Amino acid sequence: MKKKNCCILLLITLFPFLLKSQFLVTDINKSAVGSDPSFVRASLEHFVFTALSDQYGRELFISNGTESGTKLIKDINVGNASSQFWGLSIIDTTCYFITSIDAEALQYWRTSLKNPEPVLLKTFTVNGIASGQNGQFTKFGDHVYFLHRNENYLMELWKTDGTPEGTTRVFEFGRNIFPSQLSVFKNQLIFLAENNAGLSQLWKSDGTSNGTALIKSVDNQYGTFEYTVFKDTIYFVANDGISGWELWQSDGTASGTKLFLDLIPGAMSVFPLIYGCFGNNLFLPLIRCEWCQIVATEGSVLSTQLVKDIRLASKALAL
């Protein structure tokens, strides 16, 4: 209680100083509605965001933190009609984003943060099927890769060198395969995919059509969730229908993609969440309705140990 009271007293003391440290950079929308800034993405020297104004509707702005350095990047949907935005990503000193001004087309753009002159990379006909799966811009080698769902409802992997003519399709996935979470791993792109047949899939790509391939499928009815790279190994959560929700690992090969450890033996699920890396350990909250436990691992079964039992467990972990 004493510690809690000290924290409250410290907050009360610092609150006036915290208020003074906040200041208005510029008033984009002077009406009572406000500009409602969203999709804020920051680099070392700039940040971009979408904002609503009476003159332009919702469009993309850039700022260096000063009033004179805060300006509209482009009025994409000319006039006071708004554009819709998806997938804003900053890679080095370039911002990539997707816009739509109607239900028929999606536009993929890039703009330099140092000299904001947007370049339209590609326009796709989508027939009203704009999807949050589009985008996920990821730099790999000399290109930036992204996902797109086409007018036939098929997901595609694309790449761009920053020019319209250098924006090309790499691979078209089969029907009902939904890739996500692009990242670079061991000089290749790695991503997860789900499909309607109940398969969790791990894929790889070297940036070519022939080099884009399935690594391994995990047969289940539930799909996959997040993954992370820790000590040159991919860790992800999956349910193979035998061991329940458990932690899996992969070295990027089919034979090296396997269950890491059955924390609750059998089909009883423990549902680990990949919390993050700290020091030499990967931390996993294990969640069930009866309890929640924190487990840490250095990447081997022998190094995996219980850190904290937040609630009394009804079952013992197989460690």
Over 90: is that where the pLDDT of 212 sits? yes
**Is 292 in contact with 271 (CB distance < 8 Å)?**
no
Q: How confident is the model at residue 4 (pLDDT cuts 50, 70, 90)?
A: very low
3-state secondary structure of 56: coil
Would you say residue 148 lies in a domain?
A: no
**Is 216 in contact with 235 (CB distance < 8 Å)?**
no
CA 3 to chain centre: 37
206 closest CA partner among 136, 157, 133: 157
Would you say residue 88 lies in a domain?
A: yes
87 closest CA partner among 62, 64, 60, 67: 60
Mean pLDDT along residues 263-279? 69
Over 50: is that where the pLDDT of 316 sits? no
Residue 101's domain comprises 32-132
At residue 3, the pLDDT reads 45
Would you say residue 282 lies in a domain?
A: no
Mean pLDDT along residues 251-277? 77
Q: pLDDT digit string (tens) for 95-109?
A: 999 998 777 788 999
At residue 99, the pLDDT reads 92
pTM here is: 0.81
At residue 125, the pLDDT reads 83
Which residues share a beta bridge with 168?
A: 159
173 closest CA partner among 158, 188, 189: 158
CA 101 to chain centre: 24
How crowded is residue 280: how many other Cβ atoms within 10 Å of its Cβ? 12
CA distance 108 to 218: 33
Would you say residue 104 lies in a domain?
A: yes
3-state secondary structure of 319: coil
Q: How confident is the model at residue 290 (pLDDT cuts 50, 70, 90)?
A: low
Domain count, the chain: 1
Q: How confident is the model at residue 270 (pLDDT cuts 50, 70, 90)?
A: low
User: How big is the CA angle at 103 (ends 99 and 106), to the nearest 5 degrees?
Assistant: 30
Helices (H) and strands (E) in the chain, counts: 1, 24
At residue 246, the pLDDT reads 80
Would you say residue 194 lies in a domain?
A: no
The one-letter amino acid code at 212 reads: T
Over 50: is that where the pLDDT of 18 sits? no
Give the percent of the chain with pLDDT over 90: 38
Would you say residue 207 lies in a domain?
A: no
How far is CA 261 from each of CA 50, 132, 164, 200, 225, rounded to the nearest angstrom? 44, 33, 46, 18, 17
Which residues share a beta bridge with 27?
A: none
Instruction: Specify the higher pLDDT residue, 79 or 24.
Output: 79
Least confident of 126-130, 148-152, 235-239: 126-130
Mean pLDDT along residues 239-259? 85
